[in-house]
Amino acid sequence: MARLEGFAHPAIDRQGGLQAHVPPLKIAAIGFWHVHAGDYANSVLEHPETTLVAVWDDDETRGLAAAAEYGVEFVADLDELLARPDLDGVTVTTSTDQHHEVMLKAARAGKHIFTEKVLAPTVEEAEDIVGVASAAGVVLVVSLPRLYDDYTVAIERIIDEGSLGELTYTRVRLAHDGWVAGWLPERFGDPETAIGGALTDLGCHPAYLTRLFHRAEPLSLSASYGSVTGHPVEDNAVVTAEFPGGRLGVFEASVVTSPGDFTIELRGTTAAVTFGFGGERLLAKGGVYGDEWQELPLPEPAPMAFWQWVEHIRTGTTANENLRHAVALTRMVVAANESAASGASVALDAAPASAAASATASV
């Protein structure tokens, strides 16, 4: 696991081991509703500065099974667990509709929070979570992993160097076979607890990457959803975002695609870049890259979100950039869902409506 670059490591010695005088952070896993719950529990176990001490779930059977799997205590009462003075933080992977209530409880109890996306079902709830966490002095980080992958680091550099000329069009697609292969739980199709389908869960990643690449807030979103499997939420989704200057960004998600894929396409006035078409290769053509497609090297990835969370806790700092992305992502998902339901394009506010949003709105 990569070491954090550009951060202090007060709790790690030069050999990468935890210093004896710095106790590991005690973390509880809150909810095993989401399929990534086990991934974050494993992150706690694998990080040299964290230890998993307990599990809570509103489904006792599911919670007991998870606690047994990880060899830790199951606590049936969330308030009792959060009241423990020796508990430092929590990972939150409950159903999406529980995020607001659970995270406000955790923040007010002084527990640091690492949570699955989306942050909340509404922009107001997302802003509320950020504001309460800030007021309580706890570190909140949202798992937006593709912000920190090597291809994203490379593409950001290309955009900022101006090698594409003016960016005019982007397309980011993420798809898997969860509902055709039968491994995605049926609870992901419940509109009350999941809030949405393929776009709300899987499409979050293409959404925040689209905004990142355009270096601006979208002016409007137009979404089309489909349900191949007949679930009450979408399993196929396509969203077109309009950005300032007539630029367009398309982001897509599907849980009925086999084999699954992840692709990025960026087109500019002088050159183009693609990733993931026929393999995890970053290709460029045009302008400084020449008339033939050439493969570009991939740099080291940025620190993973979980490692950033731990480092922010240790240094007493705030994950401002991560939270800006998280609130903006909620805004995009809400607008996309509204557009799909209404069959009309939805304009996004030119400026955030509240002070909390203002602190988190810029890229």
pLDDT(62) > 70: yes
Residue 183 C-alpha from the chain's centroid: 21
CA dist., res. 141 & res. 160, Å (int)? 25
Q: Given 3-state DSSP classes, what are the helix, strand and coil percentages for the chain, each rounded to the nearest 5? A: 35, 25, 40
Q: How far apart are CA 233 and CA 236, in angstroms?
A: 9
pLDDT at 362: 40
Handedness of CA 259, 178, 346, 143 (dihedral sign): negative
Task: Identify the band that residue 2 occupies on the pLDDT scale cut at 50, 70 and 90.
Answer: very low
* Mean pLDDT of all residues in 76-84: 98
pLDDT at 341: 97
pLDDT, averaged across the chain: 92
Query: Looking at residues 184-195, what average pLDDT do you find?
Result: 96
**Taking the CB of residue 215, how many other CB atoms lie within 10 A of it?**
15
pLDDT computed for residue 234 by the predictor: 98
Which domains are assigned to the chain?
A: 25-145+305-358 (3.40.50.720), 149-296 (3.30.360.10)
**For residue 340, is pLDDT > 90?**
yes
249 touches 210 (CB < 8 A): yes
Minimal CA–CA distance to 169: which of 274, 80, 309, 79?
Answer: 274
Specify the pLDDT at position 21.
67
Q: What is the mean pLDDT of residues 69-85?
A: 98
Kindly tell me if the per-residue pLDDT of 9 is higher than 80.
no
What tens digit of pLDDT does each residue of 27-53 get? Answer: 999 999 999 999 999 999 999 999 999
Say whether pLDDT at 358 is over 60.
no
pTM over 0.85? The answer is yes
State pLDDT tens for residues 254-273.
Answer: 999 999 999 999 999 999 99
User: Collapsing DSSP states into helix, strand and coil, what is residue 363?
Assistant: coil
Q: What is the pLDDT of residues 199-242, one digit of tens each?
A: 999 999 999 999 999 999 999 999 999 999 999 999 999 999 99
Q: What is the 3-state secondary structure (H, E, C) of 123-186?
A: HHHHHHHHHHHHHHCCCEEEECHHHCCHHHHHHHHHHHHCCCCCEEEEEEEEECCHHHHCCCCH
Q: What angle do CA 105, 106, 111 make, to 5 degrees?
A: 150
Q: Is the predicted pLDDT of residue 96 greater than 90, yes or no?
A: yes
Burial 196-212 (b: 16+ CB within 10 A, else e): bbbbbbbbbbbbbbbbb
The answer to whether residue 298 scores a pLDDT higher than 70 is: yes
Q: Return the percentage of the chain with pLDDT > 90, whole number.
A: 89
Residue 349: which pLDDT band, with cuts at 50, 70 and 90? confident
Task: Kindly tell me if the per-residue pLDDT of 356 is higher than 90.
Answer: no
Instruction: Summarize pLDDT for 158-183 with one digit per residue, the tens.
Output: 999 999 999 999 999 999 999 999 99
At residue 276, the 3 state secondary structure works out as: strand
The residue-averaged pLDDT of 193-203 equals 96
The rounded percent of the chain whose pLDDT value lies above 70 is 90
Please state the separation of Cα 113 from the chain's center in Å: 14
Q: Which amino acid is at 286?
A: G
